[in-house]
Structure 1
Amino acid sequence: MAITAEALPEVTATIADRIFDQLRQAIVEGEIPPGSKISEPVLAARFGISRGPLREAMRRLESSSLVERKPNVGARVITLTSEQLLEIYVIREALEGMAARLAAEHMSDAAIADLKRLLAQHRNDVAQEEWQAYFQKEGDLDFHFRIVQGSGNRRLANILCNDLYHLARMYRCQFGMKSDRARDALKEHELVVDAIAERDGELAEWLMRRHIRASRKATERRLAAMRPSDT
């Protein structure tokens, strides 16, 4: 069946969406390492697509702060500094705290029950890793993603899920999955959900902020341990 002129923009958008998702996953998971130069001709040949949808996908990656374009250099995957990572934690503490409070007001009983089932699965997964790893899959299988979506605030969800979320996941992958906070983090998640189930928005916000603050402090310790000694 021939593609009409009217349908062409929609087809191009669909291709751009697919390429954007694939490139974002490759960047977040480290398949395309930080600092890597992005060659549009190479990617166009790799995916077997024209430059139009690829450029749209690249534009969206730039908007998501995963790719940066510099004059006379071209496009490269971002290389985040430790300071930028900690800034993300500070922003997440405020915004995800707000999301937890709103989730206590707006999440349905069915959605909360489903979230509890998700955490039960997380507990089983972490136990199998001997409480040394707590890495959540993307999207609906991620606790924080669910809370943000449950807030019912689309603008807040857009900020957290289309920008900060993938930057944070990128760092999780780069640091590896091992963590001395796996058991504590899971317990903190369960406390947040309990507060949401009780419709106590103030407590849910406080618990979420405390949880993210604890994660930030743990990250600060790991960053300090990675720095070379002056002696």
Structure 2
Amino acid sequence: MSEQIRPAKLGRVATFAGRSLEVLRDMVLDGTLAPGERLNEVHLSQALGISRGPLREAIQRLASEGLVEAVTHRGAYVRSFSSNELTDFYELRIALETHAVRLAARHTPQERIDELSQLLDDTESSMGADTNAAYPADQDFHARVVRLAAKPPLLDALTEVGRKIQLARARSAHQPRRARTALDEHRAIVAALSSRDDEQAARLIEAHLVSSLNNALAVLRTDEPADGVKPA
């Protein structure tokens, strides 16, 4: 984005004036502020309609979440992650989600599992017949599965690591074939939940996340220097 806020984003940003942390986080995660980009406080404060004080507090909060990095005498930059870091994030996510799905298979009422099936039906409908359709970003199957486990600390931990994965994958364009495959994999997970097969559900969600990781790594590694050192 360089040093300017893209005009298409201004209307959305103005709508959320006063919610600097949420808006700034969204701008980082949706690519409005790209990995490696410096956060220009003057331009951001004007675009968000807030003073520099609240903006700096929001930037500090994002730094504590690992989404922004403060560089002495240079300012704050959106974090860039290596392929090794992305792999680490996915390993943590797999550990958390396999535990969550086991709990969900053992304890979730069937009507809640049926709601997951409806979510997937709605997802398929929204994708329609377009073979180039991406998986709808607002229909977060994984968050719904974790909520079935009824363990707020699990959801908090997954939200934190999920944001880092989203930022690390910011350079990965969606792949339509993967979106359709992901939907099929989600349906298989729901089937395992319905049959109360906690180990099968865990195996399926692990395989699903490994596929997602491999897809992201294929893109991320093509952009990394041969020696694995990040560019300055």
Whole-angstrom distance in 1 between the partners of 2:79 and 2:225: 23
Whole-angstrom distance in 1 between the partners of 2:129 and 2:90: 28
Contact 1:101–1:201 (Cα < 8 Å) also in 2: yes
1:78 deviation in Å? Answer: 0.7
1:86 deviation in Å? Answer: 2.2
1:88–1:208 Cα change, 3 Å: same
Query: 1:197 aligned to 2:183?
Result: no
| Aligned position for 2:153 | 155
Once the two structures are superposed, the pairs formed by residues 1-231 of structure 1 within 5 Å of their partners are: 18-130=19-131, 132-138=132-138, 141-161=139-159, 163-223=160-220
Whole-angstrom distance in 1 between the partners of 2:109 and 2:169: 30
TM-score of the superposition, structure 2-length normalised?
0.79
SS of equivalent residue, structure 2 residue 55: helix
Whole-angstrom distance in 1 between the partners of 2:53 and 2:153: 29
Q: Bigger shift: 217-226 or 33-42?
A: 217-226
Q: Give the total of aligned pairs.
A: 211
Which stretches in structure 1 are left out of the alignment for 5+ residues?
1-13
Whole-angstrom distance in 2 between the partners of 1:226 and 1:86: 16
Identity, in percent, stands at 34
1:219 deviation in Å? Answer: 3.1
TM-score of the superposition, structure 1-length normalised?
0.79
Whole-angstrom distance in 2 between the partners of 1:224 and 1:68: 21
* Cα deviation digits, residues 121-171 of structure 1 (max 9, x gap): 2223344331x4442324xx211111122221111111111x221222334
1:15–1:220 Cα change, 3 Å: closer
1:107–1:226 Cα change, 3 Å: same
- Point out the structure with the larger helix share: 1
Contact 1:15–1:53 (Cα < 8 Å) also in 2: no
Whole-angstrom distance in 1 between the partners of 2:36 and 2:222: 23
Which stretches in structure 2 are left out of the alignment for 5+ residues?
1-15, 227-232
* Cα deviation digits, residues 64-96 of structure 1 (max 9, x gap): 211111212221111122222222222222211
1:54 deviation in Å? Answer: 2.1
Whole-angstrom distance in 2 between the partners of 1:129 and 1:169: 24
* Cα deviation digits, residues 89-128 of structure 1 (max 9, x gap): 2222221111111222343333322211111122233443
Contact 1:126–1:182 (Cα < 8 Å) also in 2: no
Q: CA RMSD in A?
A: 2.6
1:56–1:111 Cα change, 3 Å: farther
1:38–1:102 Cα change, 3 Å: same
1:74–1:228 Cα change, 3 Å: closer
1:23–1:144 Cα change, 3 Å: same
SS of equivalent residue, structure 1 residue 174: coil
Whole-angstrom distance in 2 between the partners of 1:71 and 1:228: 25
